Amino acid sequence: MNQAELKEFLDEKTHQYNTKEFIETDPISIPHQFSLKEDIEISSFLVSTIAWGNRKMIIRNGNRMMELMGNSPFDFVMNHNKNQLDRFNGFVHRTFNHLDFQYFIKSLKNIYENHGGLEFIFTEHSTEATTQPAITEFKNIFLSLDHEKRTEKHVASPLKGSSAKRINMMLRWLVRQDKAGVDFGIWNNISPSILSCPLDVHSGNVARKLGLLKRKQNDAKALAELDLVLRSMDLFDPVKYDFALFGLGVFEGF
């Protein structure tokens, strides 16, 4: 396919998968349970953090996280006490366990009380061209309290070469203006044009097969390479193609 044919193909696949039917089998179904802005963004952050592995398991454990917070994540973050954190004991999703979960709650409270909230951090530290510096600064702020060393691996930093797939996915959910009703678009001070595609095994493999990506590793350099190509196809909404790449990989075995 030439460039025009490739864009037409990806536009069609985006239209095919960027529908409300996508929500039910995707982790984004969990923040869709809420209407309060802070509930949506906190649940998006927590669920995207555990978004690796089997999708059914991700959704099951994401719902369990919400249940442990009384299905009111913002209220729980701001008003929990130490005894309430004990209810997390035994929670585990792959390498994310109750100690990580407890720290995440404490750090989120610090962010909302002392740093203007999640949206403010990402808005304040994004540039006109990219959100990647904001992801690094977010990690610095997030880990500024006393924490277990093990927890650090659950928050990525592009500065250390990570593609930061899970945080980029969260940003797509919260920033992207989606007429189909999948992504929320509740963070209005960040332009969707500077978002990066959540790059993982599926989207990376499909991107390489289509000639969108040459670099073999799914790292920060590969993400920058893919960003350039997707932005050349849609300057204003480049991460819409995440639906096409993900759908082709997961649903079609492309």
> What's the pLDDT tens digit per position in 3-47?
899 999 999 999 999 999 999 999 999 999 999 999 999 999 999
Q: Is 219 helix (H, G, I), strand (E, B) or coil?
A: strand
Enter the DSSP assignment of 9: H
pLDDT for residue 253 is more than 90: no
CB within 8 A of 122, min separation 6: which ones?
131, 134, 135, 138, 171, 187, 190
Q: If phi over 0 gives left and psi between -120 and 50 gives alpha, with beta otherwise, what is residue 161?
A: left
Q: What is the mean pLDDT of residues 183-201?
A: 97
Q: What is the mean pLDDT of residues 59-84?
A: 97
Which burial class, exposed, middle or buried, applies to 180 when counting CB atoms under 10 A from its CB (0-12, 13-18, 19+)?
middle
- pLDDT tens across 165-175, in order? 999 999 999 99
CB atoms within 10 A of CB 203: 27
What sections of the chain are H helices per DSSP? 3-17, 37-49, 55-68, 73-79, 82-85, 98-114, 118-125, 132-142, 165-175, 201-209, 220-233, 241-250
pLDDT for residue 1 is more than 90: no
pLDDT at residue 73, rounded to an integer: 98
pTM assigned to the model = 0.96
Q: Angle, nearest 10°, between helix axes 98-114 and 132-142? A: 110
pLDDT band at 254 (very low <50, low <70, confident <90, very high): confident
